[in-house]
Amino acid sequence: MQHSQTHLRSRPISAGHLRAFEAVARHLNFRAAAEEMALTQSAVSRQIQSLEEEVGVSLFLRHTRAVELTSAGAQLLMAVSQSLPRIDGAVRQIRQSAGRRAVALTTFASFASMWLIPRLEQFQRDNPDIDIRIDATDTSLDLELADVDLALRYGPASNMPPRSVRLFGEQLTPVASPWLLKATPVKKPSDLAQFALIEAGDAHPGHMEWLTWRRWFDAQQLTRFQPKRWLYFNYAYQMVQAALTGQGVVLARLPMVAESLANGDLIEPLPKLRIDSPLSYWLIKGERSGQRPEVAGFCAWLEGQARSTRQTIGEVPDPDTVDNID
């Protein structure tokens, strides 16, 4: 089927034939697509023909016993194969949550794994009628447009939008498994040369440089310090997991390991040598969704958990740092 440029349309196409297109493109066979969709082969063929007329170009090359995608068809398939599963997933969530209260939030993977999820059991026990959906990402979002109610973010105050709620700050400190330090005690910073040191592989760009061992070494006047070896990971929870299994010493974010220190799974050998970080953890609320009772209740619970963390890590309120910034 050939179409001239004069036949190309500028208005959006109707979406009804896209599922037939995706099935034919996946099978490269009209009969198999028809069987999958419980339609006749001629019905599927008509849907594809109508779609090609709407798009204005051929999407398939028809051969005697097979079909193949044109370059335009391949381009459309890339978009359709990404969009249809997302639409189907959204519909499933809507159907499942119809008539139920729900809170959707976004946060980065390490914070979800190490701080939020271990505490969620209490909220779910106290609020069994509220569903929680966590999207583990730190991508910047407009909460008035995105399908989430809250965002939990990490960074300096200058990067946060107005009316963000500061949950807690952080300090950095070396931590390790107790059995690792039992065999080789650490009494002073230079003792760390006997161990593998664990660090984020992408810690150096931007403000993440605050989290590096090099900064801690400089604070201890160990400018030429070299450990036994380095062990790099992409995520904070991977780094801490490696420390828990005795693979080395990690320079940990104190709020993320506070519970492990409290229960003895990790030991802080040099507690007087903590260094401060300019980064904090923040709660960002969608203006409209924050008015829903279930979202407001979840925020109140989060802020209560944050107060507990501040107490655990010994964070003293600073008169120059308020919880709500404008």
What is the torsion angle, in degrees rounded to the nearest 10, for the CA atoms of residue 253, residue 258, residue 259 and residue 263? 120
Do residues 60 and 75 make contact, with C-beta atoms less than 8 angstroms apart? no
- Per-residue pLDDT band for 4 (boundaries 50, 70, 90) equals very low
Ranges for all domains in the chain classified under CATH 3.40.190.10: 100-169+279-313, 171-276
Using the 8-state DSSP alphabet, how is residue 325 labeled? -
C-alpha to C-alpha distances, 219 to 1, 109, 222, 225, nearest whole angstrom: 71, 29, 8, 12
- Phi and psi angles of residue 47, each rounded to the nearest 5 degrees, phi first: -65, -40
pLDDT in tens, 269-306: 999 999 998 899 999 988 777 778 999 999 999 999 99
Contact 220, 189 (CB under 8 A): yes
All CATH 1.10.10.10 domain ranges in the chain, comma separated: 5-96
Instruction: Find where tokens 């619970």 sit.
Output: 301
Place of tokens 């390790």: 176
Task: Name the band, by pLDDT with cuts 50, 70 and 90, for residue 325.
Answer: very low
* Residue recorded with tokens 């150096």: 204
Q: What radius of gyration, in Å, describes the C-alpha atoms of the chain?
A: 27
Cα–Cα distance, 94 to 97 (Å, whole number): 5
**Pairing outcome for strands 249-253 and 171-175:** antiparallel
Check if CATH label 1.10.10.10 holds for domain 5-96. Answer: yes
292 Cβ contact partners less than 8 Å away, ≥ 6 residues apart = 101, 149
Q: Which pLDDT value is given to residue 97?
A: 61
Secondary structure class of 12 (helix, strand, coil): coil
More confident residue, 16 or 127: 127
Among 40-54, 113-127, 201-215, 239-253, name the one with the lowest average pLDDT.
201-215
Whole-Å CA distances, 59 to 3, 76, 118: 11, 8, 50
What letter represents residue 273's amino acid? Answer: L
Domain 100-169+279-313: CATH superfamily, name plus number: Periplasmic binding protein-like II (3.40.190.10)
Q: Which residue has the tokens 């050939």?
A: 2
Nearest CA to 25 out of 74, 83, 79 is that of 74
* CA–CA distance, 44 with 255 (Å, rounded to integer): 57
Q: What is the structure's pLDDT at 114?
A: 92
The two tokens of residue 187 are: 């009494």
Q: Rounded mean pLDDT of the chain? A: 85
- CATH number belonging to domain 171-276: 3.40.190.10
Residue 64: both structure tokens together: 């005697």
